[in-house]
Amino acid sequence: MSSPVESRRRISGASAGTLLERRAHALGSAYRLFYDRPVHLVRGEGVWLYDAQGGAYLDAYNNVPVVGHCHPRVVEALSGQAAILNTHTRYLHESILDYAENLLATYPAELNRVMLTGSGSESNDLALRLARHYTGAEGIIVTRHAYHGNTSVTAEISPALGPSYRRPPHVRLVDAPDTYRGHGDVAARFVQDVDEAIKDMAAHGIRPAALLVDTVFSSDGLFTDPAGFLAPAIELVQRAGALFIADEVQGGFGRCGTDMWGFQRHGVMPDLATMGKPMGNGHPMAGLVARSEIIDAFGRDCRYFNTFAGNPVSCVVGMAVLDVIRDENLMQRALQTGDALRVSLREMMARYPRMGDVRGAGLFTALELVEPGDERKPDGKLAHLIVNDMREHGVLIGSAGPGGNVLKVRPPLVFSEDDARLLCEALEASMGRCV
């Protein structure tokens, strides 16, 4: 039996052209599309996406549908609750309490309060508001190519948004702990950079409120190892009176395989942890957890209300996602499949010197492409070619990192070892065509 990749068909240029024209007129130029030849998707199931002509694409990129596209249990929960009641948190309903209690059970006991939002951007925005209120300080430390959202506040701490980014006076940027190009102890280097950032703030009369990092450093190029390297920097930040905010939008919900949350790999305790995209498997929901004293201090002085956050439909969807992760043992699958994938990619490296590094944890893998020679110079052009060539042959991946040269493989957690083999076969064929 042929795989969906082998039997896929191309979308028609006319259909895509019509959609592009309509987008230009209705949405304008601020929106962006993936791939040189955009994909017109109409259906998804598990790890597969299908275009308007029935062509299939192996989805090795999207972390939003964490338990797979259109998982039946999630769809059933959503449609069932939508037929009964959907309202907001100013009324009593059980679903928000059931969800909050079950979500908190996945975190250390110290993180014992939940606040819900509609997007990861809102979660990080709210986390910064909480941190500033609790500490009375303003300064924020993030990594040099971070992405934390698109509100006005989170855009100020998201240099990955592009060349228009301008660092505000209260923000300090530090290098991500690059284990490929870094020299020596990455933990020591990272804590040194954070220390210098705190001292520079002090020199300008700014007190630090928070260090906010994506716990897998995905936008910076994905740096997950060695486990524990975050600990010294977190200890320093908290000793300085600031809070540690763990951004779990990309590293959370079991993606790293060994733990439910990315910060747990490092043996650290955040003061707040934010969540987003995978929380609702595509349904728009997000949130944060925090220590009770942070929430209580905020609640004494401020009011918080979010019409869509915590509605009954979102909460039963979130419960279904947690249930599927547990019942289908998806963390263990992420660990096994991810390990097998990286073994295959490292074997491929011997045949393709342009493959400079393979790294990752669980079902989050980075493959760094470099120019010929020993300088480890990023090759963003080759990465662009590979991403688009694989799209043409029915496999969807992305790219990341300051040089745009890191192939990003971040599939739904239902991705199997057979799916990983399909991915590797497609990548090897693409390397043969593009290098």
Question: Over the stretch 45-63, which tens digit does the pLDDT of each residue have?
Answer: 999 999 998 899 999 999 9
How does residue 13 score in pLDDT terms, banded at 50, 70 and 90? very low
pTM score, whole prediction: 0.94
Q: How far apart are CA 424 and CA 338, in angstroms?
A: 12
* Model pLDDT for residues 129-187, shown as the tens digit of each residue: 999 999 999 999 999 999 999 999 999 999 999 888 999 999 999 999 999 997 779 99
What sign does the dihedral 433-179-419-10 (CA atoms) show? Answer: negative
**Length reported for the chain:** 435
Read off the pLDDT of residues 242-301 as tens digits, 9 standing for 90 and up. 999 999 999 999 999 999 999 999 999 999 999 998 999 999 999 999 999 999 999 999
Model pLDDT for residues 290-315, shown as the tens digit of each residue: 999 999 999 999 988 898 899 999 99
The residues, any chain, with a CB within 8 Å of residue 317's CB and separated by 6 or more, are 74, 77, 78, 81, 280, 281, 283, 285
CATH 3.90.1150.10, the chain: domain bounds? 13-63+329-434
Range(s) within the chain of domains with CATH label 3.40.640.10: 72-327
Q: What is the pLDDT of residues 391-404, one digit of tens each?
A: 999 999 999 999 99
* CATH class of the domain whose range is 72-327: alpha beta
The pairing of beta strand 243-247 with beta strand 272-275: parallel
Q: 13-63+329-434 falls under which CATH superfamily?
A: Aspartate Aminotransferase, domain 1 (3.90.1150.10)
Asked if pLDDT for residue 347 goes beyond 90, the answer is yes
Confidence (pLDDT) at 374: 87
Question: For the chain, how big is the Rg over CA atoms in Å?
Answer: 22
**Which of the four pLDDT bands, split at 50, 70 and 90, describes residue 9?**
very low
User: Token pair of 227, please?
Assistant: 């486990």
Asked if 338 and 362 count as a contact pair (C-beta separation under 8 A), the reply is: yes
Rounded to the nearest 5 degrees, what angle is found at the Cα of 225, between the Cα atoms of 251 and 113? 35
Residue 114 forms beta bridges with which residues?
289
Residue 171 Cα to chain centre, angstroms: 22
Mean pLDDT, residues 22-45: 91
Cα separation, 345 vs 166, whole angstroms? 37
Q: How confident is the model at residue 4 (pLDDT cuts 50, 70, 90)?
A: low
Please state, in angstroms and rounded to a whole number, the distance separating the CA atoms of residues 193 and 136: 23
pLDDT band at 5 (very low <50, low <70, confident <90, very high): low
